[in-house]
Amino acid sequence: MSDLWNAVRDEYGGAGVAKRPTWAEVLEIARQPEGNTNIEELLSRCKTAEGFEQGENQTKIQRFIADAECIIRTKVDFLDPSETLPLHEGFLRKLGRRSTRRERLKLFTTNYDRCFEHAAQRAGFVVMDGFTMAQPAIFEPMHFSYDVVRRGPNADAPDYIENLFQLYKIHGSIDWELNETTKQIVKKEKTEKPLLIYPRNTKYELAFAQPYLEMISSFQAALRANDTALLVIGFGFNDNHLAEPILAAIETNLSLKVVVISPGIEAQSATNPHLKKIAGLIDQGDARLAMLAASFEDLVPIIPDIAAQTDFERHIERVRAVRER
């Protein structure tokens, strides 16, 4: 979250703009503790201040909230169509390429960006993200349970396609928009009103409204499934609506295996109550759990390939290489 704090602060840290409060005024009105650089806490305090401040202060804080959310949207909408994401592609190839007889990879993310969709398109993966395959794409939760099969003229049984994974964007996406007329959630590039759960303390309540409730329910169900492995990357366990289900599943699902990966895991496990519990179980000899001090960039190269590259994947790479010359 530090990059979002810096982006908002830098925008407000310069000369004053007409009708816009200064950075110092925002911190004062929100009563942000000195030295606290948590953007989630600042926006939470601003939302609280909006409810009891009046007059000019209320106007200033409302302007700041709107500006901060706009800055956050701009910050996460960074992908260029020609951009390559080798780490994301490598991650999908290593974990998403598995036998079609096995459960499909379920990828839950709190990120708003489209990195995994972009990487999937480049790597030849099919994404089941809860949206219809028609245009415009409309959110229909039942589509998470759909799969894709290849049917030949003489096929007696369905032939499930390779390279398909399910993507759950728990806090929304930069390209989701609520159609105010139909009340349907649709995909729309460059929307000015993306459907997002912004970083503030109301995340818990918002997570239990649609479409987020459907994805949270799927997350909880996946944690309770037998012989499940959960790989947690870059999540600080600060969101109770996600951390609590993980802790509950660790306590009740004896076949669940969990690996928590973060560059600052040692310091985090000393202060975060959820990570403290996991670290305590590891110290007590719980072999189902592990912690690894690493970043996403460190992790992807060391993940073993669980399946060999297919002829189709090699063909996709050859075609792409020719197109990009």
- Model confidence at 15: pLDDT above 60: no
Mean pLDDT of all residues belonging to the chain: 88
Q: Where is average pLDDT lowest: 5-9, 14-18, 40-44? A: 14-18
Q: State the pTM of this model.
A: 0.85
What is the secondary structure of 190-254 as a DSSP string?
A: T-SSEEE--SSTTHHHHTTSTTHHHHHHHHHHHHHSTT-EEEEES--S--HHHHHHHHHHHHH-T
pLDDT grade, residue 231 (50/70/90)? very high
Which pLDDT tens digit goes with each residue over 22-43?
888 899 998 989 888 888 889 8
Map out the domains of the chain as residue ranges.
Answer: 2-76, 86-302
pLDDT at residue number 18? 59
pLDDT at residue number 4? 83
Q: Any idea which residue has 């040692």 for tokens?
A: 266
